[in-house]
A = this chain, B = another copy of it.
Amino acid sequence: MDPRDAGIGEGISEVIVTTKSAAGTPNAAPIGIISQSTKKGERSYFVTLYKGSQTLANVLETGRLAANVTSDAVLFVQTAFEDLPQECFKDFAGMPVLTEANAWIVFSSDLVEERPQYLRFHLRSPAVKITRREVKAINRGLNAVIEATVLATRLEMATSEQERDTMRREMQRYASIVATCGGPRENQALAILQAKVFKDALV
């Protein structure tokens, strides 16, 4: 089976990346998996991991990561800001994966680029398992949770108060989309996000 069958399309797929340390401690974080078409019509997979992140530390120790495909808003927010409890993980192909995910893709990683702020890895030898296929309509509230989470994780990297103000206004707009369009999971995710970083932003 191919990562494409597990929902990793061309472009950047937002997934929860799970890893483990050499000592076996699992970690989960929302990260984009980059998929590019090669000239032969095959696909190449890459990931950019930021220095200082636990995911990067673990990948450097073990050379592997798992992409967990999910559309659960709460998982994206939780893994952006919290450690998941041990019972959220199970084992697949020797790696911790999320029980609740719809598919798992375990990759081996080769370092291909080093930059001041991040390392870039080529991902190869995927082991793929699909746990659940579904039909799901687009929910703008889910999309808004993802965008607000991306903004929240970048807020502290902002270099000026003006930039932070712009980001906070954006977040407020996304919060109102969640309130209008979201279901229970999106609203729960927004509440976690607000408790973590939105307090100052939502006047």
Residues of A within 8 A of B (CB): 5-15, 32-33, 35, 67, 69, 71, 76, 102-103, 130, 132-143, 146-147, 150, 180-184, 186
Contacts and interface: CB of A to CB of B under 8 A. Distances in A.
B181 A12 contact: yes
Contact of A181 (B11, B130, B135, B142): B11
Contact of A14 (B138, B147, B150): B138
A6 B143 CA distance: 19
Contacts of A7: 134-137
A15 B35 CA distance: 27
Given A143-B147, A181-B32, A13 B132 contact: no
B71 A138 contact: yes
A139 B14 contact: yes
A13 B137 contact: yes
Number of copies: 2
B137 A9 contact: yes
A137 B10 contact: no
A181 B180 CA distance: 25
A180 B11 CA distance: 7
A25 to B, nearest CB: 25
A32 B181 CA distance: 9
B103 A12 contact: no
30 contacts: A6-B135, A7-B135, A7-B136, A9-B136, A9-B137, A9-B139, A11-B139, A11-B181, A11-B182, A12-B139, A12-B141, A12-B180, A13-B138, A13-B139, A14-B138, A15-B137, A15-B138, A32-B181, A35-B183, A69-B135, A69-B136, A102-B135, A130-B135, A132-B135, A133-B133, A134-B134, A134-B135, A136-B136, A140-B143, A143-B143
